[in-house]
Amino acid sequence: MVQGDGKGVGVVQQVRQGYTLDQARTRLLAALNPLPGRDDCPLPQARGRVLAAPLVAPRAVPGFRASSMDGYALRTVDGRPGEPLPVVGCSAAGAPYGCPLQPGQAVRIFTGAVVPDGADAVAPQEDVQLVQGETSGPMVTLETSVRSGQWIRSPQEEAAAGEQLGGVGQRLSSVDVARALACGLCTAQVYSRPRVTLLITGSELRPAGDPLPPGTICDSNGPLLLSLLERLGLTVADQQWVGDDPQRLETALLTLAGCSDVLISTGGVSVGDEDHVRPLLERLGTLQFWRLFLKPGRPFATGTMAGARFFGLPGNPVSAAVTFLQLVWPALQVLEGAAPEPWPRLQVRLATPLRRRPGRPELVRARLTTDHRGKPLATPCGDQSSARLASLHGADLLLEIDASATELPAGTAVMAQLLRLPVL
Ligand code: AMP
Ligand code: MG
């Protein structure tokens, strides 16, 4: 469970160092279950929601044999090149030719239109000659032979009747939504979204735009977490800013925890005299664990308070962002009924040397480029101070660097997490 040989040594090390990221994630996620709420969500608004019941196609789609070309529907037995066939009608998308095709006939047809019964092939219009007979109507002559079934979509090409389009725990993509709507479904039963509240702590903090007396700084954690949550489709039900005052912190913590499923705080969770959040969590709720063996993000605490899951993120903005992405986000996914999807990992090579102080495993912020053969390269985003938001600016990757690493020359292969959300 923890680094170290003997059990006792391991526990002592854990207390001193904190959990590795993997240990912390495993412990945290094992303690969580999906929230009980369910919503019937109109499908057009369901992208990003997590299915609480399977989505099942009520019928086959498209439900009829459809042409996938503009051309002529005919029987292959009649389709001998050079022999004209009378064109007896037209089947357009949404306006079928209502009768079965008789032997020796052809029907003008367009993409998406019903292929008349009796026809078993569509000859594309590029492969035929159309002539207007003097006494008869239009006649079509094939230039090449046709194959049975050509340019005809099967009635269940998109989905068979009863086919499962999505399973419980699946987060719906734009494509999933479009496909379910294409199959005639209107709503999806999804898990309710967790109600999230934010508590930004620190006596030095002011909202951007307010006057800044000496020693104060603008809050960046609040806006950053709000927008990260928004990217994940979550809105914040309530947010408060409180200085390092235990009494006011206690009131704010209990108020926010009492009206949310998840309360996220930043700041005040380290070991300084003004760091009141962890002791308050221990007193007002239950501390599950505190401290990570990780850089950035050592002072991280989680537990429960007034029925809410509590996350105490560090105050340093990069530490807050990284611990949010590594621990809070997967936890939010579990609470919302989804299997937590880890960030995709890939092997990259350092484009420039990396020098660092050994001690803790590090997630180094880096940009992704490619070399002349298209192989992935990582360029660290400068000074990796956890106070420096600029180290996250333009970062596509978090490089997973071992605790003991000191000097890594350019070209070193390292594993990296790819911080990208799917477009679809
Ligand atoms: P703390 O975790 O409270 O010890 O804060 C660590 C560092 O992060 C200090 O330099 C704080 O000023 C800074 N910090 C804390 N909260 C925020 C915030 N919301 N926005 C920007 N910086 C912060
Ligand atoms: Mg502080």
Compute the average pLDDT of residues 37-50: 98
The share of the chain scoring above pLDDT 90, in percent, equals 93
Distance 221 CA to ligand 1 centre (A): 8
User: Closest residue (by CA) to atom 12 of ligand 1?
Assistant: 204
**The pLDDT of residue 19:** 97
**The pLDDT of residue 135:** 79
CB under 5 Å of ion ligand 2: residues: 202, 267-268, 315
**The pLDDT of residue 10:** 59
Q: Is the peptide bond before 62 cis (omega within 30 degrees of 0)?
A: yes
Compute the average pLDDT of residues 290-309: 98
Tell me if 285 CB under 6 Å of ligand 1: no
Indicate the pairing of strand 85-91 with strand 121-124: unpaired
Tell me if 268 CB under 6 Å of ligand 1: yes
**The pLDDT of residue 253:** 98
- What does the pLDDT look like over 238-260, one tens digit per residue? 999 999 999 999 999 999 999 99
Contacts of 267 (CB under 8 A, 6+ apart): 200, 201, 202, 205, 221, 244, 277, 313, 314, 315
Q: Residue 243's CB: how many other CB atoms inside 10 A?
A: 14
The rounded distance, in Å, linking the Cα atoms of 371 and 331 is 36
**The pLDDT of residue 133:** 72
- What does the pLDDT look like over 54-110, one tens digit per residue? 999 999 999 999 999 999 999 999 999 999 999 999 999 999 999 999 999 999 999
* Cβ 285 vs Cβ 304: under 8 Å: yes
Q: Which two tokens mark 116?
A: 């008349």
Which residues sit opposite 128 in a β-bridge? 142
Average pLDDT of the chain is 95
Tell me if 320 CB under 6 Å of ligand 1: no
Tell me which H or E stretch contains 329: helix 329-335
Compute the average pLDDT of residues 127-134: 89
**The pLDDT of residue 17:** 87
Q: Is the pLDDT of residue 5 over 60?
A: no
Tell me if 270 CB under 6 Å of ligand 1: yes
* Ligand 1 pocket test target in 316, 324, 386 with most atoms within 8 Å of CB: 316
Would you call 209 exposed, middle or buried from its count of C-beta atoms within 10 A (0-12, 13-18, 19+)? exposed
Helix (H, G, I), strand (E, B) or coil at 218: strand
Indicate the pairing of strand 236-242 with strand 196-201: parallel
Q: Which residue has the higher pLDDT, 81 or 6?
A: 81
By residue count, the chain amounts to 424
